[in-house]
Amino acid sequence: MTIFSIFVIMKQKRKIELDFIVDKLTNSIENAITGDIFDTEIIQLSVKNFKEIISNDWLFDWKQEIRNKSKEVYKLTIKNNAQIIQGLISYEDKGDHLFMHLIESAKFNKGKIKIYLGIPGNLVAFACQQSFMKGYGGYVSFISKSKLIEHYSDTLGAKVLFANTMIIETSAALKLIHKYYNK
């Protein structure tokens, strides 16, 4: 990560602190009741996919994220069931790492009565994998809510870069990728 990248992170106009909970690191996603494991697919979204995103089902404005040309938005689905979105991620290529703007599980995958476990971990592992594919060594950064810094450190292996900006470095990224994509 370069000093320039850190400066760019600090100068962001819209600072959203991520507050997703990593409920369980699974090797895909897991049914919370039965423990059954389901293979997943992650597919990039574009404005053509707006009809797939029902605004009332999400806390964030994912259509706005898709419209932003500097960001890439992906949906997580169960293989062979691409019409039901389990979770969404938005990230930006900073030239030497990826910056996660948003991660959100579908409303039926939140809280005590969630259907599937492992959604956030799966999406973060995907971002790490994409970072490796772009030649960034798995580096992924994000801004955390202060109360979740320890949680992200414990579950994702993320480290505090400064204030509440966190980074996932190569070794932690590899652990996440091997957990989700080592099949």
pLDDT digits (tens, 9 = 90+) for 46-63: 888 878 888 888 888 899
What is the value of pTM for the model shown? 0.86
Asked if residue 91 belongs to a domain, the reply is yes
For the chain, the 3-state helix, strand and coil shares in percent, each to the nearest 5, are: 35, 30, 35
Asked if residue 13 belongs to a domain, the reply is no
Asked if residue 137 belongs to a domain, the reply is yes
**CA dist., res. 60 & res. 53, Å (int):** 11
What's the structural domain count of the chain? Answer: 1
Asked if residue 11 belongs to a domain, the reply is no
At 21 the pLDDT is 58
Asked if residue 14 belongs to a domain, the reply is no
Q: Which residues of the chain have pLDDT under 50?
A: 3-13
Q: Which residues contact 134 (CB under 8 A, 6 or more apart)?
A: 93, 98
CATH code, domain with 32: 3.40.630.30
At 121 the pLDDT is 93
At 94 the pLDDT is 96
Asked if residue 5 belongs to a domain, the reply is no
Asked if residue 12 belongs to a domain, the reply is no
**CA dist., res. 51 & res. 42, Å (int):** 17
